[in-house]
Structures are given as structure tokens and as C-alpha cells.
């Protein structure tokens, strides 16, 4: 029983990290209707930027976010303007190709700069833990979870308490209608892409402390992140959070109780059942296309 409880707590804590990583992906889809399959590579880029900054400046990996989040925001803004904005027709299909090309390009650049060997961010708290009842909780997961919570709260506040957030939500609801009422959807899209990349930087730092990674680590990441936003409902921030928690808790409990071999299977059973009942995902919106 202790082991199950421990796995559940671990699932919630790591689920928060995945929620943060997936939030940028779902936001980008919501605003631009593009599937950013390069998002995993952007998380890995964030981890590498934190790795480089913490080594060069001898600062804590979490402190590097002061540098990496603005840098990633600007980079995201630029990527959207250069690569995504020119896509005027068939955006969803073409965006897969374009963002995959971005991922491969980033993988190549990171491999050239940092090499192919696995690296990991180091901090005093990555092996430190404190007892709760019969088990121990690791500080890094708690810190990561608190960071994710804080950033997700800020993201919710931006979306639901600011005028710009209203512009984002309007663009998510109906891009054409948003344009008609005077919203600069190109600017909204570029900023949303930048925000998505800034959250990738934040997710990347926790990922980089808890996991050894190399430039090729994005393949595993993106498959998990895409699954999360499909379960949560494409474009739904709340859905991404809930789906990430469901994924990690179900996988971790299955892993300790039954076997790691069945961990992904159990999650996919949940995914299929949810999609049978709600094809749009947990919090997705049903869209009817005119043909």
C-alpha cells in the first residue's frame, strides 16, 4: 500500500512537469491550429540552455530560467514569424512537416554544439529527499511541481485576466472572427508561440535535472506530450494539466503494482475509452467543419 501511495504521489509530482511541457504545445495548437511536433526538441533546447548557463555562470539550474525563458520567448516569436506565419493554406498538415524540420535542425545544432553524449543538470537537491510517513519525497520533484504550478497559474491569469489573454482566447475560438473584430492574430500567434517556448524552457529545466538527456531525447518526449494533449483536448490548457496527471499517475501505479511493461498500455486504454466517449478529449471543443 505504501508503494502504491508513493507511486501516486510521484505520478502527481512528475505529472505537473509534463503538464507544464504540454501546456505550451496545447496553447500553440489552440491559437494557431498547428501541431508543433518540434515541441519536444524545444523542451530539450531549454534543458541545454539551462545546462550551458548553469555551467558558465555557476548558478542554480532554476535560476537560469531568468535567462532562458526570455531567450526562448524571443526565439519562439522569431520561429513563428519565419516558419509558421507563411503557412496560409493546409496549416495543420504543413505545420507537422515544418515543425518536424525545426526539430531535426535543432537536434543537429545541439549535437554539433554539445555532442551526442548524455548530460544532466546538477543541483544539490537532485538526490536530496525528506521523509513523509513511510516514504521519502525528493526535493527536486517538489521544487519542479511548485515551479510548474506557479507558471501554470501565471499562464491562466494571462489568459483569463488580461486583454491580451482575451485576444488569445478569441483567436482560439475563431481566428477569422477575431480578425474581423480587429485582433492582430499574427501578433497574437507569434506571442503565443513565444509563450509556448518559454514554458518549454521551464519544463526543460526540470526535465534536465531529473533525466539524463541528449539531442535525440525529444523523440520520446514529443510522443508523450502529443498523447497528453489529445487526451486533454487539443487546445485546452486545463485538459493538458488533467491529462498529464492521469498519464503519470496511472503509469507509475501500474509500473509498481503490475509491471512497467503494462504502464503505457493502461494509459492508452484510458485514452481510448475517453476518446470513444468524448472524441474531442476531456476538455476539447467539438468543431464542425464546413465542406
Partner 1 sequence: MRTSLRGALLSVLAMVIAACGSTAPTAPAAPITIGVSVSQSGDFSGDGKALVQGYDLWAQDENAKGGLLGHKITMKYVDDTSSTQQVVSNYEGLITRDKVALVFGPFSSLLTIPASTVVARYGYAFPEPAGGGPHVFDRGLTNIFFVQPAAVEDNLVSYTKWLTGLSADQRPTSVAYATQDDPFTQPQVDKAKSLLEAAGIKTAYYRVYPAETTDFTPIALNVVHSQADAVILGTQLPDAVAFAKTFIQQHYNPKTLIETTGPDQGADFSNKLGTNTEGIMVPAGWTANAKAYGNDKFVSEFIAKYGGTAADISADAAEAYSVGQVVDEAATKANSIENAKLISSLHSGTYQTIQGPMAFDSSGKPQGGVGVYIEQWQNGAAIFVYPSSVAAAQPEYPKKPWS
Residues that bind partner 1 (CB under 8 A): 2-3, 6-7, 10, 14, 107-108, 111, 115-120, 122, 126-129, 135-136, 138, 211-216, 219-221, 224, 248, 251-252, 255-256, 259-261, 263-264
Query: In the 8-state DSSP scheme, what is residue 105?
Result: H
Q: How far is the CB of 161 from partner 1 (least distance, A)?
A: 34
For partner 1, the closer of residues 261 and 277 by Cβ is 261
Of 50 and 255, the one with the shorter C-beta distance to partner 1 is 255
Q: At 128, phi and psi to the nearest 5?
A: -90, 150
Q: How far is the CB of 136 from partner 1 (least distance, A)?
A: 5
Residue 2's Cβ-count burial label (10 Å; 0-12, 13-18, 19+) is exposed
- Separation of alpha carbons 246 and 267, rounded Å: 8
User: Exposed, middle or buried: residue 288 (CB in 10 Å: 0-12, 13-18, 19+)?
Assistant: exposed
Q: Which long-range contacts (CB under 8 A, 24 or more apart) does 87-94 make?
A: 87/34, 91/32, 91/33, 91/34, 92/33, 92/34, 92/35
Smaller CB separation from partner 1, 6 or 49: 6
CA distances from 100 to 30, 95, 215, 254 (A): 19, 8, 14, 32
Q: How far is the CB of 145 from partner 1 (least distance, A)?
A: 14
* Residue 133: CB minimum distance to partner 1, A: 14
For residue 126, give the C-alpha cell: 537532485
* Residue with Cβ nearer partner 1 (215 or 235): 215
Alpha helices by DSSP H, listed for 58-184, are 65-79, 91-114, 139-161, 163-173, 175-180
Smallest separation (angstroms) from partner 1 to the CB of 75: 21
| Smaller CB separation from partner 1, 179 or 211 | 211
Handedness of CA 55, 221, 228, 104 (dihedral sign): positive
Q: Minimum distance between the CB of residue 51 and partner 1, rounded to whole angstroms? A: 11
Q: Report residue 153 as a C-alpha cell.
A: 497559474
Which among 276, 27, 17 has a CA at the least distance from the CA of 160?
Answer: 27
Q: Which of residues 79 and 209 has its CB atom nearest to partner 1 in the complex?
A: 209
Our CB check for partner 1 shows the closer of 179 and 214 to be 214
Q: How far is the CB of 116 from partner 1 (least distance, A)?
A: 3
Amino acid at each position: 500500500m505504501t508503494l502504491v501511495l508513493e507511486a501516486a504521489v510521484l505520478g502527481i509530482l512528475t505529472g505537473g512537469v509534463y503538464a507544464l511541457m504540454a501546456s505550451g504545445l496545447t496553447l500553440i495548437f489552440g491559437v494557431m491550429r498547428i501541431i508543433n511536433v518540434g515541441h519536444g526538441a524545444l523542451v530539450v533546447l531549454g534543458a541545454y540552455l539551462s545546462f550551458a548557463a548553469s555551467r558558465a555562470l555557476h548558478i542554480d539550474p532554476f535560476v537560469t530560467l531568468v535567462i532562458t525563458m526570455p531567450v526562448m520567448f524571443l526565439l519562439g516569436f522569431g520561429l513563428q514569424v519565419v516558419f509558421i506565419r507563411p503557412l496560409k493554406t493546409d496549416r495543420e498538415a504543413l505545420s507537422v512537416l515544418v515543425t518536424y524540420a525545426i526539430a531535426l535542425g535543432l537536434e543537429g545544432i545541439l549535437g554539433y554544439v554539445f555532442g551526442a553524449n548524455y548530460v544532466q543538470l546538477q543541483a544539490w537537491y537532485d538526490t536530496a529527499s525528506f521523509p513523509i510517513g513511510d516514504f521519502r519525497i525528493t526535493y527536486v520533484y517538489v521544487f519542479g511541481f511548485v515551479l510548474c504550478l506557479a507558471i501554470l497559474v501565471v499562464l491562466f491569469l494571462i489568459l483569463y485576466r488580461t486583454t491580451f489573454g482575451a485576444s488569445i482566447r478569441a483567436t482560439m475560438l475563431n481566428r477569422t472572427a477575431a480578425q474581423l473584430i480587429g485582433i492582430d492574430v499574427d501578433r497574437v500567434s507569434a506571442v503565443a508561440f513565444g509563450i509556448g517556448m518559454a514554458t518549454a524552457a521551464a519544463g526543460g529545466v526540470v526535465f534536465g535535472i531529473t533525466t539524463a538527456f541528449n539531442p535525440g531525447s525529444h523523440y520520446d518526449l514529443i510522443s508523450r506530450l502529443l498523447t497528453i494533449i489529445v487526451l486533454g483536448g487539443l487546445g485546452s490548457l486545463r485538459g493538458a494539466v488533467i491529462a498529464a496527471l492521469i498519464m503519470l499517475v496511472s503509469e507509475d501505479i501500474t509500473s509498481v503494482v503490475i509491471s512497467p511493461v503494462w504502464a503505457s498500455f493502461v494509459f492508452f486504454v484510458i485514452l481510448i475509452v475517453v476518446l470513444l466517449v468524448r472524441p474531442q478529449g476531456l476538455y476539447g471543443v467539438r468543431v464542425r467543419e464546413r465542406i
